[in-house]
Amino acid sequence: MVQRINLLLNKKQAYLLVFLLGASLFVGCTSSIIDSNVKVPERKWTYRNHMVNSFEIKDSTRPYNIYFKLRHTADYKYSNIYILAHFKDGKNTVTKRYQYKLAKNDGEWLGSGSGNIFSYVLPMQTNYHFPKNGKFSIEIEQNMRDNPVVEVVDLGILVEETQ
């Protein structure tokens, strides 16, 4: 009986090892250009507190996905958020305004939760082709009526090659 239990445990461990190896290969295939997180001081995002991320594109022939990352507490008092994104390529700046829905009509958060914190990875541009190779930056600012917007934990940008 003890040998059967040990054999079952060894099989489960082997399956787990194969799964973890496969998952690490899958995750390893994702090519992120930048994946940033910036903590918001005192969980108060002010108009003047812009998040700037710089990165380099080495192959402008490939498509990229650009995401805005947000984490807030359950005490965030809105069901949405407005941001301004300034896309800069050194000479030119293109500004776009985004509105993201963060909660259902009944107040249930749409983000993935861990305790009191809710996380979002929200699309800004999908299958985007940068106009050239080189250095770029994305500057994000909050565009809500309140200043500061409270209970925002951190912000980030994710730029990755489209698979």
Model confidence pTM above 0.95:
no
Give residue-wise pLDDT tens across range 5-35.
444 445 555 444 344 444 443 444 446 788 9
Query: Which residues are paired to 154 by β-bridges?
Result: 39, 71
CATH number for the segment(s) 32-161: 2.60.120
Give residue-wise pLDDT tens across range 61-106.
999 999 999 999 999 999 999 999 999 988 899 999 999 999 999 9
- Residue ranges covered by each domain of the chain: 1-30, 32-161
